[in-house]
Amino acid sequence: MKIIFAGTPEFAAVALQALHEAGFEIPLVLTQPDRPAGRGLQLHASSVKQYALAHGIEVLQPLSLRLDSKDPERAAQAAVAHARLLATDYDVMVVAAYGLILPRSTLDIKPCINIHGSLLPRWRGAAPIHRAIETGDLETGVTIMEMEEGLDTGPMLLMERVAILPTDTTATLHDTLAALGARMIVEALRARAAGALHPVPQPADGVTYAAKISKEEAALDFSLSSNELARKIRAFNPFPGAHTELNGVIIKIWGAEALEAGSDAPPGQVLAADAQHGIIVACRQGTLRLTELQKPGGKRLPAAEFLKGFPLDGLSLD
């Protein structure tokens, strides 16, 4: 079976590696254009591009696949990509966190199969891992699905569930689901080749949407409950990183523990900040023990180490 692979971040690169190592022929990879990153804002290739180039696979990086784009440059690049797809001998396109919309003109060439990091129809959209943790879901998983023009609306081919652990962050759950999705897409394509893959329509009930994560969401609001805040901190680790403000200084919060004990203090008030108790902050309901923090330009530190250079006792977090 010959595959065109479309994906961009590490989640997709894990699947690309699994397909390549399983012996599938991959004549072409689509990935997003190189983006500036790091302090010097130098252009960096995506994880998928890096893997493809290291293994001699041709890479195409169009800005868009929409032939009807009103932007002349995007439309021109889409036309080149469309012609390349038409000229390539392949059986199916596998898509994983590509980041570009596949228009009807692309979907009509050959079947397109997507690796999606949720239990569809829950958490369709851009940030299913973040939203599952933030909302407090007890489980999630991976769905292998056929693609259509709707947002993650296509029929399901395979689904597997995993528990969301109380200690899971987006980083740890991402790695779990990336490995699961990689194994499942290999299984799905082998089953497809054997005629044993049967699409099932998604249920009409239970649809939720995982909106793209914004940096503004990462500012902690201590008028929420401690449980809500602890979930947000886990959900926004590693990106964009939950934070709070103290006397105009932005403090990143990478780890926290929700405590049931309440307080009459106003939300955001630091109730304790010492080696014995850690950093405990009042919330609307319950209290929050901050366990890992980072000041601007510094390293992530356990609370006790952080306090040696940044005393907090009696202050209020915004």
Tell me the pairing of strands 59-60 and 25-30: parallel
Q: Is 30 annotated as a binding residue?
A: no
Assess contact for 255 and 171: CB atoms under 8 A. Answer: no
* pTM of this structure: 0.94
Task: Determine phi and psi for 108, rounding to 5 degrees.
Answer: -80, -15
Assess contact for 35 and 47: CB atoms under 8 A. Answer: no
Tell me the pairing of strands 2-7 and 92-96: parallel
* Residue 241 structure tokens: 């990183």
CB atoms within 10 A of CB 178: 24
With CA atoms as reference, report the closest residue to 105 among 122, 89, 92, 86.
86
Q: Tell me, what's the pLDDT at 270?
A: 92
With CA atoms as reference, report the closest residue to 223 among 174, 284, 157, 150.
284
Q: Is 16 annotated as a binding residue?
A: no
pLDDT tens digits along 276-316: 888 999 999 999 999 999 999 999 999 999 998 887 766 66
Q: How far apart are CA 109 and CA 105, in angstroms?
A: 7
Q: Which residue has the tokens 């390293």?
A: 299
Residue 10: partners with Cβ closer than 8 Å, 6 or more residues away:
47, 174, 178
Assess contact for 59 and 26: CB atoms under 8 A. Answer: no
Residue 248: partners with Cβ closer than 8 Å, 6 or more residues away:
none
How many helices (H) and strands (E) the chain has is answered by: 8, 17
Q: Is 121 annotated as a binding residue?
A: yes
Half-sphere exposure of 69 (CA within 13 A, CB side): 19
User: pLDDT below 70 — which residues of the chain?
Assistant: 38, 313-316, 318
CB atoms within 10 A of CB 29: 25
Assess contact for 312 and 270: CB atoms under 8 A. Answer: yes
Q: Is 65 annotated as a binding residue?
A: no
Q: How far apart are CA 232 and CA 226, in angstroms?
A: 10
Beta-bridged to residue 315, according to DSSP, are none
With CA atoms as reference, report the closest residue to 144 among 130, 157, 161.
157
CB atoms within 10 A of CB 38: 8
Residue 17's alpha-carbon distances to 7, 30, 160, 236, in angstroms, are 12, 14, 20, 27
* Residue 205 structure tokens: 């009930």
Assess contact for 126 and 42: CB atoms under 8 A. Answer: no
Please tell me what DSSP assigns to residue 297: T
Beta-bridged to residue 156, according to DSSP, are 145, 200
Q: Tell me, what's the pLDDT at 315?
A: 65
